[in-house]
Amino acid sequence: MHKPFSAIAVAAGLVASGLATFASSAQAQALDAAGLQVIDAAVNAVAPKMVNWRRDIHAHPELSGQEVRTAKLVADHLKKLGMEVQTNVGGTGVVGTLKGGLPGKVVALRADMDALPVPENTGLPFASKAKANYLGKEVPVMHACGHDAHVAMLMGAAEALSSMKAQLPGTIKFIFQPAEEGAPVEPDANGKVPSFGAKAMVEEGALKDVQAIYGLHVTANLPSGVVGYRSGPLMAGSDNIRIEVEGRGGHGSSPWNAVDPIVAASQVVLGLQTVVSRQLNISQEPAVITIGQIQGGTRYNIIPDSVEMLGTLRTFDEGMRQEALKRITTTAESIAASSGAKAKVRFGPVAYPVTTNPAELTAASLPALKLASGGKAMIIPKVSGSEDFSEFQKVAPGFFYFLGAPPKGKDFKTAPSNHSPLFDIDEDQLPVGARTLAALAVDFLQRK
Ligand code: NI
Protein backbone atom coordinates (compact mmCIF):
# COMPACT_ATOMS: atom_id res chain seq x y z
CA MET A 1 0.00 0.00 0.00
CA HIS A 2 1.63 3.20 -1.18
CA LYS A 3 0.54 6.70 -0.41
CA PRO A 4 -0.48 8.90 -3.34
CA PHE A 5 2.13 11.53 -4.18
CA SER A 6 0.07 14.37 -2.73
CA ALA A 7 -0.12 12.64 0.65
CA ILE A 8 3.66 12.22 0.71
CA ALA A 9 4.04 15.93 -0.06
CA VAL A 10 1.71 16.81 2.81
CA ALA A 11 3.64 14.51 5.13
CA ALA A 12 6.92 16.13 4.06
CA GLY A 13 5.44 19.54 4.78
CA LEU A 14 4.41 18.43 8.24
CA VAL A 15 7.90 17.19 8.97
CA ALA A 16 9.29 20.57 7.93
CA SER A 17 6.83 22.45 10.15
CA GLY A 18 7.70 19.98 12.90
CA LEU A 19 11.12 21.64 13.10
CA ALA A 20 9.43 24.59 14.75
CA THR A 21 7.31 22.30 16.94
CA PHE A 22 10.24 20.31 18.33
CA ALA A 23 12.50 23.34 18.56
CA SER A 24 9.98 24.79 21.00
CA SER A 25 11.24 22.15 23.45
CA ALA A 26 13.60 24.78 24.79
CA GLN A 27 10.49 26.21 26.42
CA ALA A 28 9.66 22.70 27.66
CA GLN A 29 6.23 22.51 26.06
CA ALA A 30 4.36 19.23 26.14
CA LEU A 31 3.44 17.55 22.87
CA ASP A 32 0.78 19.53 20.96
CA ALA A 33 -1.45 18.75 17.99
CA ALA A 34 1.14 19.96 15.47
CA GLY A 35 3.80 17.76 17.06
CA LEU A 36 1.45 14.78 16.96
CA GLN A 37 0.80 15.40 13.25
CA VAL A 38 4.51 15.07 12.59
CA ILE A 39 4.64 11.77 14.47
CA ASP A 40 1.44 10.59 12.81
CA ALA A 41 2.77 11.22 9.31
CA ALA A 42 6.01 9.39 10.10
CA VAL A 43 4.12 6.43 11.65
CA ASN A 44 1.66 6.20 8.75
CA ALA A 45 4.59 6.00 6.34
CA VAL A 46 5.80 2.84 8.17
CA ALA A 47 2.34 1.25 8.62
CA PRO A 48 2.58 -1.30 5.75
CA LYS A 49 6.01 -2.42 7.02
CA MET A 50 4.60 -2.97 10.51
CA VAL A 51 2.00 -5.38 9.09
CA ASN A 52 4.75 -7.30 7.25
CA TRP A 53 6.96 -7.48 10.37
CA ARG A 54 4.08 -8.61 12.54
CA ARG A 55 3.12 -11.40 10.09
CA ASP A 56 6.72 -12.53 9.67
CA ILE A 57 7.27 -12.65 13.45
CA HIS A 58 3.87 -14.30 13.95
CA ALA A 59 4.81 -17.06 11.48
CA HIS A 60 8.15 -17.58 13.29
CA PRO A 61 7.37 -17.42 17.02
CA GLU A 62 10.09 -18.23 19.56
CA LEU A 63 9.69 -19.32 23.18
CA SER A 64 11.00 -17.33 26.16
CA GLY A 65 14.78 -17.15 26.12
CA GLN A 66 14.96 -18.54 22.56
CA GLU A 67 14.18 -15.31 20.65
CA VAL A 68 17.25 -15.52 18.38
CA ARG A 69 15.60 -14.92 15.00
CA THR A 70 13.34 -12.16 16.32
CA ALA A 71 16.26 -10.41 18.05
CA LYS A 72 18.28 -10.48 14.82
CA LEU A 73 15.38 -9.03 12.83
CA VAL A 74 15.11 -6.22 15.39
CA ALA A 75 18.87 -5.56 15.64
CA ASP A 76 19.29 -5.48 11.83
CA HIS A 77 16.42 -2.98 11.57
CA LEU A 78 17.77 -0.68 14.29
CA LYS A 79 21.29 -0.78 12.76
CA LYS A 80 19.83 0.12 9.36
CA LEU A 81 18.23 3.15 11.03
CA GLY A 82 21.73 4.20 12.11
CA MET A 83 21.27 3.49 15.81
CA GLU A 84 23.88 2.29 18.25
CA VAL A 85 22.70 -1.28 18.97
CA GLN A 86 23.53 -3.65 21.83
CA THR A 87 22.60 -7.31 21.44
CA ASN A 88 22.46 -10.27 23.87
CA VAL A 89 21.42 -7.99 26.72
CA GLY A 90 19.98 -10.17 29.49
CA GLY A 91 19.77 -13.15 27.13
CA THR A 92 18.56 -12.32 23.63
CA GLY A 93 17.56 -8.72 24.48
CA VAL A 94 18.29 -5.85 22.11
CA VAL A 95 18.77 -2.17 23.00
CA GLY A 96 18.83 0.51 20.31
CA THR A 97 19.87 4.05 21.20
CA LEU A 98 18.62 7.01 19.17
CA LYS A 99 20.48 10.19 20.05
CA GLY A 100 18.47 13.25 19.11
CA GLY A 101 20.02 16.34 17.53
CA LEU A 102 19.29 18.45 20.60
CA PRO A 103 20.46 17.85 24.16
CA GLY A 104 17.93 16.54 26.68
CA LYS A 105 16.65 13.69 28.81
CA VAL A 106 16.73 9.92 28.20
CA VAL A 107 13.48 7.98 27.75
CA ALA A 108 12.95 4.29 26.94
CA LEU A 109 10.23 2.40 25.05
CA ARG A 110 9.83 -1.34 25.58
CA ALA A 111 8.46 -4.34 23.66
CA ASP A 112 8.56 -8.01 24.67
CA MET A 113 9.52 -10.58 22.02
CA ASP A 114 8.57 -14.07 23.26
CA ALA A 115 5.81 -16.49 22.28
CA LEU A 116 4.01 -19.29 24.14
CA PRO A 117 3.73 -23.10 24.03
CA VAL A 118 0.23 -22.91 22.52
CA PRO A 119 -0.98 -24.76 19.38
CA GLU A 120 -2.21 -22.07 16.98
CA ASN A 121 -5.74 -22.59 15.70
CA THR A 122 -6.52 -19.25 14.07
CA GLY A 123 -6.45 -20.46 10.46
CA LEU A 124 -4.58 -17.26 9.48
CA PRO A 125 -2.55 -17.51 6.26
CA PHE A 126 0.56 -16.69 8.34
CA ALA A 127 -0.36 -18.97 11.25
CA SER A 128 2.54 -20.58 13.10
CA LYS A 129 3.66 -24.13 12.33
CA ALA A 130 6.66 -23.74 14.63
CA LYS A 131 7.69 -26.27 17.26
CA ALA A 132 10.31 -25.88 19.97
CA ASN A 133 11.71 -27.52 23.06
CA TYR A 134 9.91 -26.61 26.29
CA LEU A 135 10.97 -28.36 29.51
CA GLY A 136 12.36 -31.30 27.54
CA LYS A 137 9.30 -31.77 25.35
CA GLU A 138 8.65 -30.68 21.77
CA VAL A 139 5.69 -28.30 21.79
CA PRO A 140 3.85 -26.15 19.25
CA VAL A 141 4.65 -22.44 19.57
CA MET A 142 2.39 -19.46 18.94
CA HIS A 143 2.38 -15.72 19.45
CA ALA A 144 -0.77 -16.11 21.54
CA CYS A 145 -0.14 -12.98 23.62
CA GLY A 146 0.42 -10.46 20.83
CA HIS A 147 4.11 -9.85 21.50
CA ASP A 148 4.58 -10.10 17.70
CA ALA A 149 2.47 -6.93 17.48
CA HIS A 150 4.49 -5.24 20.25
CA VAL A 151 7.75 -5.88 18.37
CA ALA A 152 6.28 -4.61 15.07
CA MET A 153 4.89 -1.49 16.79
CA LEU A 154 8.21 -0.63 18.43
CA MET A 155 10.16 -1.28 15.20
CA GLY A 156 7.70 1.11 13.55
CA ALA A 157 8.05 3.71 16.30
CA ALA A 158 11.85 3.41 16.01
CA GLU A 159 11.74 4.11 12.27
CA ALA A 160 9.29 6.99 12.68
CA LEU A 161 11.29 8.62 15.47
CA SER A 162 14.57 8.13 13.54
CA SER A 163 13.10 10.19 10.70
CA MET A 164 12.78 13.18 13.07
CA LYS A 165 16.08 12.56 14.85
CA ALA A 166 17.58 16.02 14.19
CA GLN A 167 14.71 17.72 16.04
CA LEU A 168 14.56 15.35 19.03
CA PRO A 169 15.58 17.02 22.31
CA GLY A 170 17.22 14.03 24.02
CA THR A 171 17.79 10.30 23.65
CA ILE A 172 15.32 7.46 23.09
CA LYS A 173 16.25 3.88 24.00
CA PHE A 174 14.36 1.04 22.32
CA ILE A 175 14.25 -1.97 24.63
CA PHE A 176 13.32 -5.30 23.05
CA GLN A 177 13.19 -7.81 25.89
CA PRO A 178 13.18 -11.60 25.93
CA ALA A 179 11.32 -14.00 28.22
CA GLU A 180 8.45 -11.84 29.48
CA GLU A 181 6.38 -14.99 29.94
CA GLY A 182 9.08 -16.46 32.16
CA ALA A 183 11.85 -18.72 30.95
CA PRO A 184 11.54 -22.36 32.04
CA VAL A 185 14.25 -22.14 34.70
CA GLU A 186 14.39 -23.88 38.05
CA PRO A 187 15.79 -22.55 41.33
CA ASP A 188 19.23 -23.97 42.21
CA ALA A 189 20.01 -25.97 45.39
CA ASN A 190 20.00 -22.75 47.43
CA GLY A 191 16.63 -21.74 46.05
CA LYS A 192 18.25 -19.00 43.93
CA VAL A 193 16.59 -18.42 40.57
CA PRO A 194 18.67 -17.15 37.64
CA SER A 195 17.37 -13.82 36.30
CA PHE A 196 15.53 -13.67 32.99
CA GLY A 197 13.41 -11.24 31.00
CA ALA A 198 13.20 -7.64 32.16
CA LYS A 199 15.12 -8.33 35.37
CA ALA A 200 18.12 -9.73 33.49
CA MET A 201 18.15 -6.69 31.18
CA VAL A 202 18.02 -4.33 34.15
CA GLU A 203 20.91 -6.20 35.81
CA GLU A 204 22.96 -5.73 32.64
CA GLY A 205 22.36 -1.97 32.73
CA ALA A 206 19.73 -1.63 29.98
CA LEU A 207 18.05 1.20 31.91
CA LYS A 208 21.19 3.00 33.03
CA ASP A 209 20.58 6.77 32.71
CA VAL A 210 16.96 6.19 31.61
CA GLN A 211 14.62 8.70 33.29
CA ALA A 212 11.29 7.14 32.26
CA ILE A 213 10.08 4.06 30.41
CA TYR A 214 6.83 3.37 28.54
CA GLY A 215 5.32 0.10 27.38
CA LEU A 216 2.00 -1.32 26.22
CA HIS A 217 0.11 -4.58 25.81
CA VAL A 218 -2.42 -5.38 23.12
CA THR A 219 -5.67 -6.98 24.22
CA ALA A 220 -8.61 -8.36 22.28
CA ASN A 221 -10.86 -7.52 25.23
CA LEU A 222 -11.04 -3.72 24.98
CA PRO A 223 -12.89 -1.91 22.18
CA SER A 224 -10.82 -1.23 19.08
CA GLY A 225 -8.34 1.62 19.51
CA VAL A 226 -9.19 2.20 23.15
CA VAL A 227 -6.19 2.86 25.36
CA GLY A 228 -6.81 1.45 28.84
CA TYR A 229 -4.75 2.77 31.74
CA ARG A 230 -4.83 3.48 35.42
CA SER A 231 -2.71 5.31 37.95
CA GLY A 232 -1.26 3.16 40.75
CA PRO A 233 -1.43 -0.66 40.69
CA LEU A 234 -2.46 -1.82 37.19
CA MET A 235 -1.39 -5.47 37.03
CA ALA A 236 -0.85 -7.98 39.82
CA GLY A 237 2.44 -9.14 41.21
CA SER A 238 2.87 -12.83 40.45
CA ASP A 239 4.71 -15.47 42.47
CA ASN A 240 4.98 -19.18 41.75
CA ILE A 241 4.19 -21.25 44.83
CA ARG A 242 5.92 -24.64 45.09
CA ILE A 243 5.07 -26.88 48.02
CA GLU A 244 6.40 -30.34 48.65
CA VAL A 245 4.53 -32.23 51.35
CA GLU A 246 6.68 -35.04 52.70
CA GLY A 247 5.01 -37.86 54.56
CA ARG A 248 5.90 -41.55 54.89
CA GLY A 249 4.60 -44.06 52.38
CA GLY A 250 2.76 -47.24 53.29
CA HIS A 251 -0.18 -49.54 52.52
CA GLY A 252 -3.50 -47.84 51.82
CA SER A 253 -5.22 -50.35 54.12
CA SER A 254 -3.24 -49.30 57.19
CA PRO A 255 -2.70 -45.51 57.18
CA TRP A 256 -1.81 -45.51 60.91
CA ASN A 257 1.52 -47.07 59.91
CA ALA A 258 2.21 -44.21 57.44
CA VAL A 259 2.09 -40.41 57.28
CA ASP A 260 -0.32 -39.69 54.45
CA PRO A 261 0.92 -36.71 52.37
CA ILE A 262 -2.21 -36.77 50.18
CA VAL A 263 -4.53 -35.98 53.08
CA ALA A 264 -2.03 -33.44 54.46
CA ALA A 265 -1.70 -31.81 51.02
CA SER A 266 -5.49 -31.64 50.71
CA GLN A 267 -5.68 -29.84 54.05
CA VAL A 268 -2.91 -27.48 52.92
CA VAL A 269 -4.85 -26.59 49.73
CA LEU A 270 -7.92 -25.66 51.78
CA GLY A 271 -5.85 -23.93 54.45
CA LEU A 272 -4.16 -21.75 51.83
CA GLN A 273 -7.60 -20.43 50.85
CA THR A 274 -7.80 -18.84 54.31
CA VAL A 275 -4.67 -16.74 53.68
CA VAL A 276 -6.61 -14.28 51.49
CA SER A 277 -10.02 -14.66 53.13
CA ARG A 278 -8.88 -14.59 56.81
CA GLN A 279 -5.29 -13.39 57.07
CA LEU A 280 -4.74 -10.52 54.59
CA ASN A 281 -6.28 -7.08 54.92
CA ILE A 282 -8.20 -7.13 51.64
CA SER A 283 -9.71 -3.71 52.35
CA GLN A 284 -6.35 -2.45 50.99
CA GLU A 285 -6.15 -4.45 47.75
CA PRO A 286 -7.51 -7.78 46.44
CA ALA A 287 -5.36 -10.93 46.24
CA VAL A 288 -5.66 -14.41 44.76
CA ILE A 289 -4.11 -17.77 45.63
CA THR A 290 -4.64 -20.70 43.26
CA ILE A 291 -3.14 -24.17 43.47
CA GLY A 292 -3.20 -25.37 39.87
CA GLN A 293 -1.27 -28.60 40.01
CA ILE A 294 -1.05 -31.52 42.47
CA GLN A 295 1.14 -34.52 41.82
CA GLY A 296 1.54 -37.57 44.02
CA GLY A 297 0.89 -41.26 44.22
CA THR A 298 1.14 -44.15 41.79
CA ARG A 299 -1.62 -46.63 42.73
CA TYR A 300 -5.01 -46.67 44.45
CA ASN A 301 -3.86 -48.60 47.52
CA ILE A 302 -0.42 -47.10 48.10
CA ILE A 303 0.17 -44.10 50.33
CA PRO A 304 3.01 -42.21 48.62
CA ASP A 305 6.02 -40.63 50.33
CA SER A 306 5.35 -37.14 49.05
CA VAL A 307 3.06 -34.82 47.10
CA GLU A 308 4.13 -31.81 45.05
CA MET A 309 1.87 -28.81 44.51
CA LEU A 310 2.30 -25.79 42.28
CA GLY A 311 0.28 -22.61 42.45
CA THR A 312 0.26 -18.88 41.96
CA LEU A 313 -0.11 -15.84 44.19
CA ARG A 314 -1.44 -12.54 42.76
CA THR A 315 -1.20 -9.31 44.74
CA PHE A 316 -1.49 -5.57 44.07
CA ASP A 317 0.59 -4.21 46.93
CA GLU A 318 4.22 -5.04 47.73
CA GLY A 319 3.59 -5.09 51.51
CA MET A 320 0.64 -7.46 51.08
CA ARG A 321 2.72 -9.59 48.72
CA GLN A 322 5.47 -10.02 51.31
CA GLU A 323 2.88 -10.71 54.02
CA ALA A 324 1.14 -13.32 51.82
CA LEU A 325 4.44 -15.11 51.09
CA LYS A 326 5.06 -15.37 54.86
CA ARG A 327 1.52 -16.53 55.65
CA ILE A 328 1.53 -19.15 52.86
CA THR A 329 4.73 -20.60 54.29
CA THR A 330 3.50 -20.65 57.88
CA THR A 331 0.05 -22.01 56.96
CA ALA A 332 1.42 -24.85 54.82
CA GLU A 333 4.16 -25.80 57.30
CA SER A 334 1.84 -25.78 60.32
CA ILE A 335 -0.96 -27.75 58.68
CA ALA A 336 1.45 -30.40 57.39
CA ALA A 337 3.14 -30.62 60.80
CA SER A 338 -0.21 -31.25 62.51
CA SER A 339 -0.37 -34.69 60.84
CA GLY A 340 3.32 -35.47 61.19
CA ALA A 341 4.16 -34.49 57.61
CA LYS A 342 6.54 -31.75 56.52
CA ALA A 343 5.81 -28.98 54.02
CA LYS A 344 8.73 -27.44 52.15
CA VAL A 345 7.60 -24.14 50.68
CA ARG A 346 9.51 -22.34 47.91
CA PHE A 347 8.64 -19.49 45.57
CA GLY A 348 9.70 -18.87 41.98
CA PRO A 349 11.01 -19.02 39.31
CA VAL A 350 8.36 -16.45 38.34
CA ALA A 351 8.38 -13.63 40.91
CA TYR A 352 7.06 -10.47 39.27
CA PRO A 353 6.44 -7.36 41.35
CA VAL A 354 3.19 -5.40 40.99
CA THR A 355 3.00 -3.32 37.78
CA THR A 356 2.32 0.12 39.22
CA ASN A 357 2.03 3.37 37.29
CA PRO A 358 3.43 6.19 39.44
CA ALA A 359 0.78 8.91 39.96
CA GLU A 360 3.10 11.74 38.89
CA LEU A 361 4.25 10.14 35.62
CA THR A 362 0.69 9.01 34.82
CA ALA A 363 -0.73 12.52 35.30
CA ALA A 364 2.10 14.08 33.29
CA SER A 365 1.77 11.57 30.42
CA LEU A 366 -2.02 11.63 30.19
CA PRO A 367 -2.47 14.69 27.92
CA ALA A 368 -0.12 13.16 25.31
CA LEU A 369 -1.80 9.75 25.64
CA LYS A 370 -5.24 11.31 25.14
CA LEU A 371 -4.00 13.30 22.17
CA ALA A 372 -2.27 10.33 20.51
CA SER A 373 -5.24 7.98 21.06
CA GLY A 374 -7.67 10.49 19.56
CA GLY A 375 -9.42 10.88 22.91
CA LYS A 376 -9.85 7.12 23.33
CA ALA A 377 -7.93 6.80 26.61
CA MET A 378 -9.99 5.40 29.48
CA ILE A 379 -9.40 4.21 33.02
CA ILE A 380 -9.72 0.42 33.31
CA PRO A 381 -10.09 -1.88 36.35
CA LYS A 382 -7.05 -3.66 37.79
CA VAL A 383 -5.89 -6.73 35.92
CA SER A 384 -4.99 -9.89 37.89
CA GLY A 385 -2.60 -10.95 35.11
CA SER A 386 1.05 -9.97 35.51
CA GLU A 387 3.86 -8.31 33.58
CA ASP A 388 7.56 -8.12 34.20
CA PHE A 389 7.47 -4.50 32.99
CA SER A 390 7.31 -4.07 36.77
CA GLU A 391 11.04 -4.92 36.92
CA PHE A 392 11.76 -1.83 34.79
CA GLN A 393 9.48 0.24 37.05
CA LYS A 394 11.68 -0.71 40.00
CA VAL A 395 14.62 1.24 38.54
CA ALA A 396 12.91 4.04 36.57
CA PRO A 397 9.44 5.62 36.64
CA GLY A 398 7.47 3.56 34.14
CA PHE A 399 4.01 3.83 32.60
CA PHE A 400 2.23 0.78 31.17
CA TYR A 401 -1.08 0.70 29.29
CA PHE A 402 -3.33 -1.56 27.24
CA LEU A 403 -4.41 -1.10 23.63
CA GLY A 404 -7.72 -2.61 22.50
CA ALA A 405 -7.24 -4.55 19.26
CA PRO A 406 -9.95 -7.21 18.83
CA PRO A 407 -9.87 -8.81 15.36
CA LYS A 408 -12.05 -6.99 12.82
CA GLY A 409 -15.68 -8.03 13.03
CA LYS A 410 -15.26 -9.59 16.50
CA ASP A 411 -16.90 -8.24 19.66
CA PHE A 412 -14.28 -7.33 22.28
CA LYS A 413 -16.47 -8.91 24.97
CA THR A 414 -16.29 -12.36 23.37
CA ALA A 415 -13.11 -12.22 21.24
CA PRO A 416 -10.62 -15.01 22.13
CA SER A 417 -8.42 -13.60 24.89
CA ASN A 418 -4.63 -13.50 25.19
CA HIS A 419 -3.04 -16.98 25.51
CA SER A 420 -5.93 -18.62 23.59
CA PRO A 421 -5.08 -20.80 20.52
CA LEU A 422 -7.56 -18.53 18.68
CA PHE A 423 -6.02 -15.20 19.80
CA ASP A 424 -5.65 -12.63 17.04
CA ILE A 425 -5.46 -8.86 16.73
CA ASP A 426 -6.61 -6.11 14.38
CA GLU A 427 -3.53 -5.01 12.44
CA ASP A 428 -5.09 -1.56 11.94
CA GLN A 429 -4.12 -0.94 15.57
CA LEU A 430 -0.38 -1.38 14.88
CA PRO A 431 0.01 2.32 13.93
CA VAL A 432 -2.01 3.32 17.01
CA GLY A 433 0.45 1.44 19.20
CA ALA A 434 3.46 2.97 17.43
CA ARG A 435 1.90 6.44 17.52
CA THR A 436 1.08 6.36 21.24
CA LEU A 437 4.56 5.04 22.14
CA ALA A 438 6.31 7.61 19.95
CA ALA A 439 4.10 10.42 21.27
CA LEU A 440 4.75 9.48 24.91
CA ALA A 441 8.52 9.46 24.29
CA VAL A 442 8.59 12.81 22.47
CA ASP A 443 6.26 14.33 25.06
CA PHE A 444 8.52 13.15 27.88
CA LEU A 445 11.60 14.62 26.19
CA GLN A 446 9.82 17.92 25.57
CA ARG A 447 8.48 18.26 29.11
CA LYS A 448 10.60 19.88 31.79
NI1 NI B 1 1.87 -10.77 27.10
Task: Give per-residue pLDDT as tens, 322-345.
Answer: 999 999 999 999 999 999 999 999
Which of 204, 246, 318, 427 is flagged as catalytic? Answer: 427
Which of 352, 387, 391, 401 is flagged as catalytic? Answer: 352
Q: Which of 355, 112, 99, 76 is CA-nearest to residue 209?
A: 99
The pLDDT of 159-171, averaged and rounded, is 97
Question: Exposed, middle or buried: residue 94 (CB in 10 Å: 0-12, 13-18, 19+)?
Answer: buried
Measured in Å, residue 217 CA sits from the centre of ligand 1 at 7
The pLDDT of 207-214, averaged and rounded, is 97
Q: What is the pTM of this model?
A: 0.90
Q: Verify whether residue 62 is a known catalytic residue.
A: no
Q: How confident is the model at residue 28 (pLDDT cuts 50, 70, 90)?
A: low
Measured in Å, residue 200 CA sits from the centre of ligand 1 at 18
State the Cα–Cα distance between residues 226 and 50, nearest whole angstrom: 19
Q: How confident is the model at residue 21 (pLDDT cuts 50, 70, 90)?
A: low
Q: Verify whether residue 214 is a known catalytic residue.
A: no
Q: Phi, psi (5° rounding) for residue 58?
A: -60, -40
Measured in Å, residue 324 CA sits from the centre of ligand 1 at 25
The helices-and-strands tally (H runs, E runs) of the chain is 10, 18
Measured in Å, residue 401 CA sits from the centre of ligand 1 at 12
State the Cα–Cα distance between residues 243 and 336, nearest whole angstrom: 11
Q: How confident is the model at residue 25 (pLDDT cuts 50, 70, 90)?
A: very low
CA separation, residue 330 to residues 279, 343, 344, 345, 357 (Å) = 11, 9, 10, 9, 32
Measured in Å, residue 145 CA sits from the centre of ligand 1 at 5
Measured in Å, residue 310 CA sits from the centre of ligand 1 at 21
